[in-house]
Amino acid sequence: MARIKPFRGVRYNSEQFDDMSVVVSQPYDRVRYGLQDRYYALSDYNIVRVIRNKEQPGDEKANNVYTRARDTYDRWLRDGVLAREKQPALYVFHQTFATPGGETSTSSVGATRTHKAFICALELTTFDEGVVLPHERTHAGPKVDRLNLLRATEVNFGLIFMVYPDPGNKVNALLDAAVAGRQPDVDVVELFEKDVRQQMWAVTDPKVIAAVRAEMAPKRNLIIADGHHRYETAINYRDEMRALHPDAPADAAFNYRMVTLVSMDDPGLTILPTHREIYGYEEMRPDEILQRAAEYFTVTPIASKDACLAAMAEHQAEHAIGFYAGGPYYMLVLKDEALLDQLIPEDRTLVWKSLDVSILHRILLEQVVGIPREMIDAKDKVRYHRDPQLPIDAVDAGEANFVFFLNPTLMMQVKTCTEMGEKMPAKSTDFYPKAISGLVMCPVGAGERLG
């Protein structure tokens, strides 16, 4: 059962800010490529100062990024920058944006859509219980980092983005009715995904909350779309707290995790592709790669990037992958799906082998290009991009060797792989937009209880 509860969130005090956009940020793992400095410059109260505090010379056990994050959060509460809700709430969360190119919907690029979600506290369960399921592998480093922050602050800051089965979108209908005609409590545009309008409403009506909880209660197979490391960190923290507080009741907040939930059938649900840039590679010329690839793929030269991406979309069902190394672009289409079992002999389901990202990693990168799997897993010689122009520019500048373009993974593929217990390769999905940080926070210390 998917047990959810409202919670008394901590939010920024809107009376202290002319523009609340200056305090929100991308999730912690997206704060890179100079974004940390930009968020720091945006406001002395930007949430990045807590979720990704800057390292300083001489950091030690008593004074480090985690202790500074705790002290910053505590100070903001004391000073009224942050305020605690008086009543438990569910939080309706809408993101409105223009449809980007290369996503999974049949809507035309540029059309405006709204991605509907709600934020709640979800009871933590292990993956083998079948309520919450992962779809990608995790790494130890990020979990250690997030656990250290959680231990220091005892607060959930980032949102874990999950999708849940609801073919009739009944939960959305309940929440739409609850906020109809109301101005949002938060209405911001975030610095990085600046074309996305982010709106949030607190819903405290006990009848609405009870109805949503009843709809969610029988559901299983909720899939983590973004936030695998944060979810596994929450499990580890829960287990630590249970050991320290064995008499704590079931409604202790540490038994729950703040999440944002989206219906798998929400029309705004969007997945973007992640393209692979290969750098520091000297073993084979591009023409040799294409010649070797032609044994398994039909190789077609194409004049431009846009034409290549368009052709790939037309041939998505045939496993079309793009290639650029300067000069013309190429589309590589798998000649015969029967090749998958021959070329990917490991014990995997056909659904997993049929993923374009699996075909790229296992056949093109490993067997044709000759990059060992462990190097791919370690992100050695491989960089990942949402925007296809960035790796193209790197190739043209001589900073990269070539780039492979992918179509987006389909939601049905995510659902099927996950239900079959298959974890997809890293960077298989890029759910868009991201669930930003700073909208609401959920305290989970030993004394916190959820009603």
Q: pTM of whole model > 0.85?
A: yes
How high is the pLDDT of residue 426?
Answer: 84
Please give the helix or strand (H or E) that residue 17 lies within, else none.
none
How high is the pLDDT of residue 306?
Answer: 96
Residue whose C-alpha is closest to residue 451's, from 114, 137, 6, 94: 6
pLDDT tens digits for range 296-305: 999 999 999 9
pLDDT tens digits for range 359-418: 999 999 999 999 998 888 877 899 999 999 999 999 999 999 999 999 999 999 999 999
Q: Which residues pair with 163 in a beta bridge?
A: 223, 262
Contact yes or no for 188/18 (Cβ under 8 A): no
- Confidence at 139, pLDDT banded by 50, 70, 90: low
What is the per-residue DSSP string for 167-222? TT-HHHHHHHHHHTTPPPSEEEE-SSSTT-EEEEEEE--HHHHHHHHHHHTT---E
How high is the pLDDT of residue 328?
Answer: 96
Quick one: tokens of 302? 């194409």
How high is the pLDDT of residue 104?
Answer: 47
State the CATH architecture for 274-407.
2-Layer Sandwich (3.30)
**Degrees to nearest 5, angle at CA 238 with 237 and 242:** 120
Percent of the chain whose predicted confidence (pLDDT) is above 90: 87
Per-residue pLDDT, averaged over 55-73, amounts to 93
Q: Is the pLDDT of residue 106 over 70?
A: no
Q: In whole angstroms, give the CA distance from residue 73 to residue 373.
A: 41
* SS3 state at 451: coil
Q: In whole angstroms, give the CA distance from residue 293 to residue 364.
A: 7
Mean pLDDT of the chain: 94
pLDDT tens digits for range 156-210: 999 999 999 999 999 999 999 999 999 999 999 999 999 999 999 999 999 999 9
Q: In whole angstroms, give the CA distance from residue 137 to residue 195.
A: 30
Q: In whole angstroms, give the CA distance from residue 87 to residue 346.
A: 53
Amino acid found at 304: S
Contact yes or no for 143/229 (Cβ under 8 A): yes
Q: In whole angstroms, give the CA distance from residue 135 to residue 220.
A: 15
Task: Give the sign of the dihedral formed by CA 69, CA 379, CA 195, CA 407.
Answer: negative
- Confidence at 109, pLDDT banded by 50, 70, 90: low
Quick one: tokens of 118? 């709600």
Q: Is the pLDDT of residue 449 over 80?
A: yes
Lowest mean pLDDT among 2-6, 29-33, 287-291: 29-33
Virtual CA dihedral for 156, 157, 161, 167, nearest 10 degrees?
70
Quick one: tokens of 19? 């523009």
How does DSSP classify residue 159? P
Every domain of the chain with CATH number 3.30.1760 lies at: 274-407
List, in sequence order, the alpha helices (H) in 276-348.
Answer: 286-293, 305-314, 339-343
| Contacts for 140-149: CB closer than 8 Å, 24+ residues apart | 142/29, 142/229, 143/229, 143/232, 143/233, 143/236, 146/28, 146/229, 146/230, 146/233, 147/233, 147/236, 147/237, 148/66, 149/51, 149/65, 149/66, 149/69
Contact yes or no for 28/47 (Cβ under 8 A): no
How high is the pLDDT of residue 105?
Answer: 43
How high is the pLDDT of residue 138?
Answer: 67
Between helices 206-216 and 170-179, what is the axis angle to 10°?
Answer: 170
Q: In whole angstroms, give the CA distance from residue 32 to residue 26.
A: 10
How high is the pLDDT of residue 33?
Answer: 72
